[in-house]
Structure 1
Amino acid sequence: MAETRTLKSYASLSDIVKTALVVIATVIVAGSGFSLLKANVLPQVPTTLVAIVWGVSSVILIFYSLNLLAQIFPTKVYNKIVPYIFIGPAVLIMGWYLLLPTLRSLLLSFMDKTSTHFVWFDNYKFLFSDRSMLVSIRNTLIWLVCGTGFSVFIGLVVAILAERSYIEKGTKTFIFLPMSISLVGAGVIFKFMYAAKFGGAEQIGLLNAIVTSLGGNPQNWLGKAPWNNFFLIAIFVWLQTGFALVVLSAALKAVPEEMLEAARIDGANEFTTLVKIVIPNIKASIISVSTTILLAALKCFDIVYSMTNGMFGTEVLASQQYKQMFTFQNYGRGSAIAILILIGVSPVIYYNLKEFHNKEAFK
């Protein structure tokens, strides 16, 4: 848009009047629609329709008004500010919903339970001195290492094996299907699989049914720490392996076939070809998948909450944050845990942004 505009110095009077009228109309439409929805005087269906029409029309009018305001300035100025006009609202919304809550959480992390007095670093001392918090940190590290590692490893192995299988599509579809299930839904499914009945009762859990059919005794899989954490991580791996499989499978197809054929002609076996050629070529995809799953593991709350509610030594940082804020009503400690999680994800986010910046498309 900026390159097709003819050079001009300043807008005409008619352009200024038009811009003023459009801005006024935008304010009226946006303000009246917001007031109507806030008053909640309409039934549910009309309210939904009004929200859709008002939301779309308001966004269009806002961008149109901002563009008209920019056109008042000379062409050189317009060309410089018009990119910021289109990304400005998104940045403001992101700042309102992400930056401000983060700053508020940081402030609350230095305050007491009721957020009325400063206790400075007492909440952070609690994080690294309380036994339950230390267990949560340990479990979170286990989730990060095992959850991410097994998801990526199994996804990569299946992607490599399925690449040469005549049932490639069916295999990938079967493994990707769990991605359509929510974390809570998966937790409910596996809760039945891990279920245990004692005293000679018939087993309804798959694992204990297999154990008892082989002559063993039923086990309380979710009640024995720290091994119960690995049974919870297995659910996470079951869900995330499909994501790793799809991304890594696409990366494998992008490896030049000529390189593979040249390596085989030179006498390299399949394992050497995999280590020396395939893995280096898909390294970027492996890192991208690993960081994405790492973030999911660090924030994972649903599985723990739906399966054990953090009992039997299965607490993680996300579940502790929820309990501190909404069960114990301790906003200071809950905010401190949130900041700790933020510190944990920050290096990963920084690394991804750095990699994106180094890509040729982002230069």
Structure 2
Amino acid sequence: MPRYWPEPPFKHGSPQRTGVLLVNLGTPEAPTAAALRPYLKQFLSDPRVVEIPRLVWWPILNGIILNTRPAASAKKYASVWMDEGSPLKVHTARQTALLARHLGTAGHGALEVDYAMRYGQPSIPDVLNSLRARGCTRILIVPLYPQYSASTTATVVDEVGRCLAHWRNQPEVRFVRNFHDDPGYIAALVRSVREHWLVHGQPERLLLSFHGVPRRSLELGDPYHCECHKTGRLVAEGLGIARERVLVTFQSRFGKAEWLKPYTQPTLEALAAQGVGRVDVMCPGFVSDCLETLEEIAMECKEAFLEKGGKAFHYIPCLNESDAWIEALGDIARAHLGNWLDLVPDDDATAAATLERARALGATQ
């Protein structure tokens, strides 16, 4: 029998509310080895993230990686840490507040909008419990991963399911699967590039760098690779530039296995060696700047390109809190909320509307 978590006190006539939960990957609580260790352990223990048999992977993770990687990763986090905290968490919190205001302005102020991290804090179970305490009986889950992958989006679905398995009175739940080709998302990316080029001029090449995944995931049927390339094609079309000027690459390799190619840093080094003077790099797979964009791309990859003879390297920031992105995010949320937007958080009003519809159908006398 499942072990149910305590339900909040039930009160007749309590308003039934609708929640919107944004979910991002996660971050350590501080740029220190002590904070990195539990975060990395939770992240790298997820069987969807590392698809290696536990019997083989567990000794490597606990015996080697968690004893060596936290200190090195902490230094990288420290190089991009903001006064308010981790960039990923700061931007996600800001996006949540802006989305709530945007939806409120559109007449949906009764929605409960919050955010959680798949790994680290605030956790998905904690925020789901908070939404339950606020009376949410309908919850839209929005993983902030534009392109679907089993190692990202699916892990959010897994965690939500694990949490709700311990609830007796479960909410109605909807998920956003992806938005890699959403017109608003693509328009926000295109606008970001154009605004950068308006100030700095155009480069010889634009690299769209996405987070890498093992090539084996593509062979097993993961759609991530195809969705990344579709995003790249749509951005190039939106910019109205020749497709050959836009390159889709993959970053953040881990381990010795082959990952999706071409790899970002070697591609940049090859371009520099070929005489390409300026490249601009954008990371459309991340809606918030984070370690992988600010340190790996804007610092490490820039250094590699210039060392190989490149003349100018421009990093175009993630969508972060741009107006176009918040508007697109609002449209995505509204599209998936659908008929939930017609439900008001007032049992009396809801009951009256239901009765009226029933009378119209002749269901009551």
TM-score, normalization: structure 2? 0.19
TM-score, normalization: structure 1? 0.19
Q: 1 or 2, which has the higher strand percentage?
A: 2
Q: 1 or 2, which has the higher helix percentage?
A: 1
